[in-house]
Each structure stands twice: as structure tokens, then as C-alpha cells.
Structure 1
Amino acid sequence: MTGQPPIAHEAFKQFERDKFSLVAQGYDQAIAQVTSQVDQAILDAVEAGYGKQLLDVACGTGWLSAAAMSRQAIVTGLDYAEKMVVIARLRCPEAEFQIGDAENLPFESGRFDAIVCSLGILHFADPERAIAQSFRVLKPGGRYAFTCWTPPARNPFMPLILGSVQTYGNMEVYLPPRPPLFRFGETAECKKVLSSAGFTSVSITELPMKWTFSTPQDVMPRIVISTARLGSILAMQTEEQRHNVENAIIEGAKKYVMDGSLEIPASILLTVGHKP
């Protein structure tokens, strides 16, 4: 993980909390809907079911929590962004949702049978601490699962978006430095971090998903309204840069149009560990 600027933890956490509250509605209608494609696989991995106490860390707007409730699990969700939690409560009123920090979980040790974290780990300033906290509140014999995006080489959606910004825009705008985006898209890193935290029988699976849009022109607007960091980067471009980035995304998206629909492939890694 060399070559990365140092992380100012509190500044990064404040940025994440504030920006995700601002984009909560757009996130709910775009990213959360797309990533819900793998919710059942995540819940299968932790054996979520009737009567299981399940914690959804970085629960966002509650899609995964709602899927767990449909299996009759007893669900607690936690997120740092207040408006995310507001939407999650509306989506899934039977679950318990709290505003809280994944790095300082407000629960007693050994409370939960299963813990899930869908694409939350890349938003933690100190992911090792967040994993250690999940280990603490998990019961012996319980299962923990997290997901993260795979790198661009295995994830066509990422080079389409990030590559267009890098080529035609300016990535060197001022935002609080973040942890490496694709750190946990690598199998070896996932195994190492979970094993170091005390988890055993670590398994990793790559799961496909797809982004669906009506037209190539719809791609960039949905990204802007649903992402905290990338939306902020795009908003900080000059008018010319933004125009060029959007054109590049439109042209790149056209090759994914087939039979009147637009589907762009993507994938995540699902990492699962057991607490002895």
C-alpha cells in the first residue's frame, strides 16, 4: 500500500458522513439498487435465517437489511450517514437502525450470529479497526462477510468511469485523501486482513453484477447524484473538462448497448471468515 498519501482519519470520516447524507436519495436509486444483485449471495455466505441476530455494518439505505429481514433474521443496521439511516428505517421499519461508527461499534461483545458489510469497507478510514470491532461483537462460531469492488482489469464499469475522468479531467482536486479504492479487490489482501483479525476458514468468491441504464447519456448523471467522492470530483472539473469526460463516458458506454438496452458489467469480491 505504498505511494498513498497519509489518511487524515477525522477529515476523511467527516467527508464520508456529510457527502453520503447529501447523496442518500440518489445512492438509494442507483448504487444500492445495483449492488442488491448480490445481497442473497452475501446472506447465504453468513447463513442468515430465522432467528439469527444479524448486524449490517455500513447498511446504507437498507437494501441488504431488508433482504435479511425477509429471511426472518433479527436485523440491526448501522451507518455513519444520518440520511442513509432515515431511508433505511422507511424501507425496513421492522429492523433496528442506528447512526454509528463501524470503527467503534456501540454493541456488547459476542452479540451477533452474523455480520455483513456490503461495499462499506472502502469507506472506512481504518478498515483493520472496523474488522476488529466486528470480530469483537460476533459470537464464537459466527460468520463475517464483506464485499469490495474488484480492480478495473476485472471490472469494466470502473475503467469506463475512472478512466474517462483520469484521461479527460483532473483527479488532483482537493478532497481528503482516502484509503486505496481497490485494496480489498485482491484475494491475498482480503485473506491476510481477516486472518490477522483472528478469523479462520477465510473464503473468497468473485460475484458478477451489471449496471443497467436506459441510454449512454444517463450514465454520468446517475454517477453524479449517487456517489460521494466521484460526484465531488466531477463537480470540481471545469466546464470543458466535464464536457469531455461526459462525452468519453457516453462513447465508451455505447459498446454495451445491445437489443435496445444498456448493461455494463461489474464485479465484487465477497470475503467470508469464521470466528472460532
Structure 2
Amino acid sequence: MENELNKIREQQKEAWNTFSSGWKKWDDLTMEWLKPMGDEIISYIRPKNGDIILDVASGTGEPGLTIASMIGDGKLYLTDLSEDMLTIASENALNRGIRNTETIVCDVCELPFEDNTFDAISCRFGFMFFPDMLLAAKEMVRVLKPGGRIATSVWGIPEKNFWVTATMGTINRNLNLSPPPPGSPGIFRCAKDGLMHELFSEAGLKNISEKEVTSKLNSKTSDVYWNMMNEIAAPVVGALSKADDAMKRKIKEEVYQALNEKYPDGNIMIDSSATVIYGEK
């Protein structure tokens, strides 16, 4: 089992490093899209001056960098499996004049911090990809101070996330891909009602609450949406690599058709829905 978890970690690390350039290219669009979830996380953990805060699965830096700008002489640690993503986060911090951050490449299941270190922890869209979600949650609880606050976001059900299903639904329908084993890392792994509440409770957190947060991916055009998904989404690229050129064209045409049917005015603002989960140690 441990070998299998390590294999998943290495695959994910390689994928995020590979697609980091795409995330950098599309950073403005994706961060605008994901901002409502980050804002909700921030409202839950209530950052204040002097806090020491951990941001897990930081990617290109949000919501960690916004939190860092709110804690004055406190400190914000940005952590991720991917060193290339954290390089982008460091560049973003520098460009915004944020100097109270430190980036650390590490696995959430083996956090390199002492017990009871952090006042709060944020984690936007990380849990779905952690090989062992319970171990990850317990590690976060371990490094959180007594009374500390943690908030995370996970994607909701497929029916509310057309930004995924427009492409992956079309790919699956055409290529008849085998579904991944139950519980495998993936976008909708944490969408089941109550799953994250139960996970937080089992990890030792209390005063747990959940809230749905919706947003729009304002891609404006089908071309922007298609290009972005092909430059940031490893599952899309991986699946399309199995198709010949004719099938790739067919899938692209059907994705565009689905977008045009849903947004006939040509303004492609795609629905998304997530759940933000909060708990206290």
C-alpha cells in the first residue's frame, strides 16, 4: 500500500511540474475564477496580524499570498509537492511586494513542522488529490495549535461543474475510458455529501461546518476554454493522447457544440460549485 501511495505522489509531482507553465500562463483567469472559494476560506480562518499560517497545496500562491498580505509581521508558509508551482508562487509574491512568505516543497502527509506550530491552515483544492486524505488531515491537525482553525475547499458534484464535464464528459463518451478505482485521487473524489465532514471529525477537528460556494469560469470564448483546459488539465491531455487526430477533432467539435448550446449568446461563463469545509482543533 505504501508503495502504491508513493507511486501516486510521484505521478502527481511530475504532472504538476509538467503543467506548471500552463498554470502560469492562465494564472489571471484561473485565480479570478477560484477567488470566491479562497475568499470563503479566508473568512473562516480569520487571519490577523502576527499569525503564523500554513497554506497547503499552494500551487501558484493563492489564497496564501492574500492571507500573507493580511497578517503583517506574521508569516505564511506556502507548501506544495511541485517545486515548479512554488517557483511561480515565489515570483507572484515578489511581484506583489509580499515578503513574509516562505516556500517549502513537501508532502502534506509528512509536514516538516513541529506539533502545534500554526494559528491557521488553508488548503484550496488539495484534498481531492492527496493519496491518503485522512493521514493528510491528521498531519494538518498535528501542526495546528490548540484552538487553531483550518479551512479547505473541494469540488462539488459533476452536475454543478460544467467546466469539467463539458470536456471530460465528451472525452469519456467518445473514448469509453475505464473509470478509476473508487476513492482514487480526482476532481470529484470529495463531492459525496458529508464525506469531508466525517474526515475532519475523524482527524480530531470540532465545530465543523460546510458551505457551498459557486463561481463562474469567465473564459468568454470557446477557444479560450479549450486552450486553457489543454494546458492546465492533466486528465484532459492524458486522455486525448490516447486518441488519433480524427477523434481529437471530433471531441473538440463536440465540446464547442456543448458550450454553444449552453451559452448561445457566445459569452462562455462556465458554472462551477465547491464546498468549503471548516474545523477547529
The letter for the 2-side match of 1:23 is F
- 2:110 counterpart residue number: 104
| 1:31/1:226 contact within 8 Å kept | no
- 1:40 counterpart residue number: 39
> Superposition pairs for residues 34-183 of structure 1, below 5 Å?
34-72=33-71, 74-93=75-94, 94=99, 95-172=101-178, 178-179=184-185, 181-183=187-189
- 1:18 counterpart residue number: 14
| 1:16/1:228 contact within 8 Å kept | no
Kindly provide the CA deviation profile for residues 242-266 of structure 1, in whole angstroms up to 9, marking residues without a partner as x: 2222111111111343655210110
Deviation larger for 96-105 or 235-244? 235-244
Deviation larger for 140-149 or 240-249? 240-249
- Cα–Cα, structure 1 residues 18 and 11, in superposed 2: closer, same or farther, change >3 Å? same
Task: Find the partner of 2:226 among 220, 229, 232.
Answer: 220
CA distance in 2, matches of 1:7, 1:157: 33
Task: Find the partner of 1:188 among 191, 194, 198.
Answer: 194
- Cα–Cα, structure 1 residues 237 and 49, in superposed 2: closer, same or farther, change >3 Å? farther
CA distance in 2, matches of 1:152, 1:158: 8
- Deviation for aligned residue 1:82: 1.0
| 1:65/1:92 contact within 8 Å kept | no
RMSD of Structure 2 on Structure 1 (CA)? 2.3
Deviation larger for 20-29 or 142-151? 20-29
CA distance in 2, matches of 1:14, 1:144: 26
Q: Secondary structure at the match of 1:97?
A: strand
User: What TM-score, normalized by structure 2, do the two folds share?
Assistant: 0.88
- Cα–Cα, structure 1 residues 231 and 37, in superposed 2: closer, same or farther, change >3 Å? farther
CA distance in 2, matches of 1:44, 1:230: 33
Q: Secondary structure at the match of 1:148?
A: strand
Identity %: 24
- The number of aligned residues is 269
Q: Secondary structure at the match of 2:214?
A: strand
Q: Secondary structure at the match of 1:268?
A: strand
CA distance in 1, matches of 2:156, 2:65: 25
Deviation larger for 26-35 or 43-52? 26-35
| 1:224/1:234 contact within 8 Å kept | no
Q: Which runs of 4+ in 1 moved over 6 A?
A: none
Structure 2: any 5+ residue segments left out of the alignment? none
CA distance in 2, matches of 1:222, 1:193: 32
- Cα–Cα, structure 1 residues 228 and 49, in superposed 2: closer, same or farther, change >3 Å? farther
User: What TM-score, normalized by structure 1, do the two folds share?
Assistant: 0.90
- Cα–Cα, structure 1 residues 164 and 265, in superposed 2: closer, same or farther, change >3 Å? same
